[in-house]
């Protein structure tokens, strides 16, 4: 029944996309004949109003009609221009969490249930919500401290959101599997893996203890950084469904006029923002992956404060070295090194020619040099980089795509503060320092130290590895002598499973066909 339900929900998604004009607005270039026919048919079901507005508005309205799960999916896919294309990714990036608030009484019940204490014992005051998103909403509150009352922000999970997301996720998996089956050339983009990543990131985002932990970790990493910080967490009033944190009195970075009127140096803020992001990424391998203007404040001291750590990114040592060398290669115009790094990291298959790849990288990098600062766009560069890597069979790297998307967003915020902002110039010092500290003699010492630790752990595990190897050898010998066999119960279970999936799939397709025929009949 879950398979049938998934296909029903998928049919509803397709219907909403048709009605809002999203399907008929898709570019027909490269579509197979059957897909073009489907696109033409979808235009017959389009609402008249949908034809009079842009595709971006249609897409945003369709996603909002589908509900919180799809708002979250749209925001997630905005981080994957390699999957949906750069143009659609830009449209999705404008999608905001503009959900209706849920009643304060429901929030109080959630807080008390999560923390196991009456609201009066937790907060001196607990006010109505001031903002609501697809997963949670925020309430101003105060808590009693030894030195008086202190203002806090309380983020409360939306009731029922986990159950709804679980149901919608089944439809998303069904769509991903259909895409892999019907459009084999898109398998390189790993749609099922993308859906799995969405599932994991959203489950993490729905556990507010993990957001609190992310705030705490980034706070420790940045405690000595100039011009950047995050709110402190009140762990006593934090649980799975609620997180309480320091209230930030500041000006949103989207309010450029307000920042200017308060006397803040906008050029310095732009530089601090991109340099802070690069420090988090290269030095710590841990970064805020949703640094849009709505999540960034400037306090009265001119310090940037980042909030809403529901989405974070991590990079291993290998990926950090890759990123640093890529950025430094573009900055110094060493395109052969940029190409070599792609091959050394295994991101481009070895059967391709490094010189040809370096030539393609040069075609991307050269236009950014010698240009006025305001025309140098990281977004444009990354769009071209995606096109080139596709030509050279580079598979999707989810951690790098999230990083690249965040870098584009941060650059965009910096440009609103300083229209002549030059990201390359602002980042050169941070990247150069990291290169010198981590890719020179210090790197060799660090690698030797890590290698010694790994060798020590291997030596400690040697007896257990030897025992497992001996057991594996014995099992292989037994298999070679007696063969690999299923018992009757296993074979019967496999047969039942295959038959059940086959029947469910056929039944779901017939049900969807009947629904579509009924809809078409009602509209005639």
Q: Is 290 considered catalytic here?
A: yes
- Enclosing H/E stretch for 132: strand 131-132
How is residue 387 written in tokens?
């096109």
The answer for residues whose C-beta is within 8 angstroms of residue 414's C-beta and 6 or more apart is 270, 271, 273, 274, 421, 423, 426
User: What residues pair up with 271 in beta bridges, in sequence order?
Assistant: none
β-strands 286-288, 131-132: how paired?
unpaired
User: Exposed, middle or buried by CB within 10 Å (0-12, 13-18, 19+), for 15?
Assistant: middle
Q: Containing H/E element for 123?
A: none
CA distances from residue 249 to 234, 268, 306 in whole angstroms, order as listed: 17, 20, 12
Contact 238, 212 (CB under 8 A): yes
- Helix, strand, or coil here: 47? coil
Whole-Å CA distances, 350 to 189, 341, 354, 379: 19, 12, 8, 28
Q: Which helix (H) or strand (E) holds 144?
A: strand 136-145
Kind plus residue range of the DSSP H or E element containing 138? strand 136-145
DSSP 361-401: HHHHHGGGTTS-GGG--HHHHHHHHHHHHHHTTPPP-HHHH
- Token code pair at residue 486: 């299923």
Q: Are 337 and 331 in contact (CB under 8 A)?
A: no
List the beta strands (DSSP E) in 241-383.
242-246, 251-252, 286-288, 296-298, 304-306, 312-314
The C-alpha angle 352, 355, 357, rounded to 5 degrees, equals 60
Return d(Cα 394, Cα 361) in angstroms, integer: 13
* 3-class secondary structure, 221: helix
Give dist(CA 156, CA 208) in Å, integer. Answer: 8
Task: Check 257, 290, 450, 487 and give the catalytic one.
Answer: 290
Rg (CA), the chain: 26
Say how far apart CA 351 and CA 393 lie, in whole Å.
10
CA angle, corner 363, sides to 332 and 330, nearest 5? 20
Give the chain's end-to-end CA distance (angstroms, integer). Answer: 31
- Give the CA dihedral 50, 412, 75, 251, nearest 10 degrees: -100
Known catalytic residues? 290
């Amino acid at each position: 029944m879950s398979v049938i339900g998934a296909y029903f929900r998928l049919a509803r998604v397709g219907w909403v996309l048709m009605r809002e004009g999203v399907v008929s607005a898709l570019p027909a270039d490269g579509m197979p004949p059957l897909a073009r026919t489907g696109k033409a048919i979808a235009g017959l079901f389009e609402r008249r109003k949908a034809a009079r507005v842009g595709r971006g508005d249609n897409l945003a309205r369709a996603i909002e009609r589908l509900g919180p799960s799809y708002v979250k999916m749209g925001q997630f896919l905005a981080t994957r221009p390699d999957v949906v294309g750069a143009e659609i990714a830009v449209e999705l990036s404008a999608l905001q969490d503009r959900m209706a608030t849920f009643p304060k009484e429901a929030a109080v019940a959630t807080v008390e249930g999560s923390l196991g204490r009456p609201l009066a014992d937790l907060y001196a005051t607990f006010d109505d919500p001031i903002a609501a998103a697809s997963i949670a909403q925020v309430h101003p509150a105060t808590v009693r401290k030894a030195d008086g009352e202190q203002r806090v922000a309380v983020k409360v999970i939306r009731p029922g959101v986990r159950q709804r997301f679980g149901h919608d996720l089944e439809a998303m998996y069904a769509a991903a599997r259909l895409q892999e089956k019907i459009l084999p050339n898109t398998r390189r983009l790993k749609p099922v893996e993308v859906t799995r990543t969405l599932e994991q990131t959203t489950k993490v985002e729905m556990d507010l203890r993990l957001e609190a932990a992310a705030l705490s970790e980034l706070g420790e990493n940045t405690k000595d950084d100039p011009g950047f910080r995050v709110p402190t967490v009140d762990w006593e009033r934090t649980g799975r469904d609620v997180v309480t944190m320091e209230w930030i009195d500041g000006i949103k970075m989207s309010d450029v006029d307000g920042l200017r009127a308060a006397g803040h140096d906008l050029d310095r803020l732009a530089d601090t923002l991109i340099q802070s992001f690069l420090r988090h990424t290269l030095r710590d391998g841990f970064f805020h992956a949703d640094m849009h203007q709505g999540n960034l404040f400037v306090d009265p001291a001119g310090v940037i404060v980042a909030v809403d750590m529901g989405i974070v990114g991590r990079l291993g040592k290998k990926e950090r070295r890759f990123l640093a060398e890529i950025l430094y290669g573009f900055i110094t115009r060493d395109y052969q090194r940029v190409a070599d790094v792609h091959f050394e990291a295994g991101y481009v298959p070895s059967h391709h020619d490094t010189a040809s790849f370096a030539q393609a990288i040069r075609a991307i990098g050269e236009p950014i040099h010698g240009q006025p600062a305001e025309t140098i766009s990281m977004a444009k560069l990354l769009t071209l980089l995606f096109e080139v890597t596709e030509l050279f069979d580079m598979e999707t790297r989810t951690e790098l795509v999230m990083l690249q998307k965040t870098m584009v967003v941060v650059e965009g915020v910096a440009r609103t503060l300083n229209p002549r902002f030059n990201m390359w110039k602002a980042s050169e010092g941070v990247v150069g320092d990291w290169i010198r500290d981590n890719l020179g003699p210090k790197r060799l010492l660090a690698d030797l130290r890590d290698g010694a630790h790994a060798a020590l752990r291997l030596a400690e595990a040697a007896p257990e590895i030897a025992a497992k190897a001996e057991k594996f050898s014995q099992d292989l010998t037994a298999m070679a002598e007696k063969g690999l066999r299923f018992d009757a119960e296993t074979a019967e279970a496999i047969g039942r499973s295959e038959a059940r999936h086959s029947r469910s799939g056929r039944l779901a397709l017939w049900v969807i066909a009947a629904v579509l025929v009924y809809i078409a009949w009602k509209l005639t």
